[in-house]
Every structure is written in structure tokens, then in C-alpha cells.
Amino acid sequence: VSFVKPLPSSLLVRSLAMAPKAQAKRSRADDAAPADTEEQELQQQQQEDTPAPSPSKKASAKKASPKKAAPKKAASTSKAGEEDEAAAKVQPPKRAKKAPAEPEPARPVYNESMRPPPPSAPHFKILSWNVASLRALLKKDAKAITKLIERENPDVLCVQETKISEKQVPEVTRQMALPSGWHTQWACSTDKAGYSGVGTFSKSAPLTTSTGLGVKEHDGEGRVLMSEFEQFYVINAYVPNSGEGLKRLDYRVGDGGWDKALSDYIKDLQKTKPVLLAGDLNCAHQEIDIKNPKTNLKSPGFTPEERASFGARYLQPAPEGCELTDTFRKQFPEVVGYTYYSYRFNARAKGIGWRLDYFLASKPLADKVYDSFMLPDVVGSDHIPLGVTVLK
């Protein structure tokens, strides 16, 4: 007969007290701290009293789990497919991509081969050139003016932006060395020395001459000369630039501004005979008249206000305009021809220019224009000379 030795009362009490703690430890995560030896013995004894599941139940559980999971997955997949199909039905159709726009055909660029042969009929030829400082031009080439006259044999030569004062006129006239018998006429700035200014040189003496527009506000910068000839008036004009930051825009295009004053002056002259307006009008009227129109909409000379004023004051009929004709654009409606190239960025060699210089003619005179031309090979200024031949 074997007897089980009873546990000491202190140990029994301790074991009973530890039992709930052991039970709690079994419910924790696998990384719980291990119990002491006596607790392990109690745990082992309790585990031995707990019946284990039969092997057949374990096997059936293992087999059942994949079978139950498969249908759920398939159902989920099927449901997602249905949702995708339904979404596809309600989605708006995708817009077809626009075909890339075809590039516009390149416009021809003006060159001297476009000039017709000299007319056999009697004619009158006028040249115009913004010289960007006459003294500077003559310093670079003392014969710049005489070579141009010898080459083209004009009846009249108009120059703008002379930048000379009245006291400098005699010396500059001598330096130009015009052909014998030629006549000179000058308008110099009195508001600001070395600024603006125009000069008209002619083979024969004009019938009458005058300076300015007859408006004190606009006549201090020496910008207008009028020369009357037998068949028409020649107005040599240097229209003011709107300036940096467009600070003179309103002075130019506003009510009572420069454009309106010049237009009114022309309309008054047209009451007696046709007018030919020559010079730097400081506006590229159409997009074809500037290399980069989109990036220059806020640049002086190409603002919407200046272009609108140019069209309204000079090209439109009365009462607002004086109904002049752009002689170059009439002859070459789709030809690119620039008269001004910035000195910066090698603009002239790259063909990056503006058409700022014009010959605008009253309609009866425009119908007699034989040729409106440019001289792109002439250097010495940031502008090029241009000309017009009018049949008598």
C-alpha cells in the first residue's frame, strides 16, 4: 500500500493562489514569460486532465477549411467581375484624341528679286529710312546717304530719328554730301536735345513745306514734315513710341492723342490733293508684321490698343479715319517683310523682326503705285530703308 504524502499547508495555499495566474498566462501571447517549476507541474497536470480531440475530427477540420474558403473566394471574384462589368456600362465613352493640327504653310519672305523691273513710264520715287541717329550713321559710313541715293536715284528721301539739334543741321548737311542741287528740310526736337527729329531731302524744291501738326502738345519733338509736290503731299512722320511700361500709350492712342491729331491733319490735306504718309509709324499692324506675335501682345508697337488705333485712324474711312492704303500689304498680302531688327540677340541674322515702317497712300494715289519695296541688304541702322514708286 502506497501513501501519497500530503503537501504542506503553505505550499498548498501557494499553489492554489497561483492557479488563476497560470490560467491567465495561457491566454496571453506565445512570447509570455515562463512560470516557475511548481506552476509548470500544475499546468502539466491540468493539461493531462483535458481530453485531446480525436485524430478523425482534426483531419475532417483540415479538409473542410479549404472547401469552405474556395466558394467564398469564387463568389467574391464573381461579384467583383459583375461590379466591373456594370461600371464599364455606365462609364462615358472616352473622347477620341484630336489629330495634331497641321502646321501653317511658311509664308514667303520678301527679297529684292520680288521687285519688278523699273517702269518705262514717268514716275516718282520716294525712299524712307529710320537712321537711328544720323550722326552715328555717318560716323560708321560717311557715304551712307549718298550711296543710297546713287543706287536708287530717288526724287525724295525721308529720314527719321535724326537725333540732331537745329544748331547741328549745317554741319550734318555738309557731312551728308548730298548731290548738287538737292534741297533739305528739317524738324528738330525742342523739348529734348538729341531726341527724335526728321529730315526730308528732295531733288527738286517742294511747292510748300511745313513742320508739325499744328498742335502745340505734339509739335515739340520734331516728328512731322510736310512737303507739297505737284501731284501729292509727302508727309515724313516719326510716330512716338508708347514707351517702356506703355507709359505713353494714352498720349498716342487716346482721345486727342497723337494718332488722332495726325489723322485729322491728313484729312485736312486730302481736301486739296492726295497724301503719301512715309516713315516709322511704330506699329506692327497685323500678326504677319511681327515674328513673335503671341509673346508681344504687351510690347510697345504691338498692343491691341495701338493696332486698333492704327487701323481706325489711318486705314478706315472718314469720319474716324483718313482711308489710307498700306501700299506694301496691298502688293504683297501674304509676304513677310520686316523693317526693324533689334541689335540684341543677333535678331537680323535670325530673321526676328517687326514691320514698323510704311508708305500709306490716299486711294487715288495708291492706285498709281507701281512698286512698294524694301532694301533688306542695306545696313547702318536697326531699321532698313523702304521705298515706293508712283506712276505720274
CA distance 331 to 327: 6
Catalytic site includes residue 238? yes
What is the Cα–Cα distance from 384 to 340, expressed in whole angstroms? 7
Please compute Rg for the chain using Cα positions: 47
Nearest to 360 by CA among 295, 306, 257, 285: 285
Helix (H) or strand (E) holding 13: helix 9-26
Cα separation, 113 vs 116, whole angstroms: 8
Question: CA 140, 144, 147, 152 torsion: positive or negative?
Answer: positive
**What are the Cα distances from residue 60, in Å, to 53, 66, 73, 158, 234?**
12, 11, 21, 112, 114
The three-class DSSP label of residue 76 is helix
Distance of alpha carbon 32 from alpha carbon 55, whole angstroms: 29
C-alpha closest to that of 128 among 110, 155, 109: 155
Decide: 127 and 98 in contact? Cβ < 8 Å.
Answer: no
Q: Which residue in 110, 233, 238, 358 is the catalytic one?
A: 238
The verdict on whether 383 is a catalytic residue reads: yes
Amino acid identity, residue 378?
V
CA pair distance 214, 230, nearest whole angstrom: 23
Q: What are the E-state strand segments in the chain?
A: 123-130, 156-160, 183-187, 198-202, 208-211, 224-228, 233-238, 275-280, 324-326, 357-362, 369-374, 386-391
Report the DSSP beta bridge partners of residue 325: 361
From 110, 265, 338, 383, active-site residue: 383
Using an 8 Å Cβ cutoff, are 387 and 154 in contact? Answer: yes
Residues annotated as catalytic are 238, 383
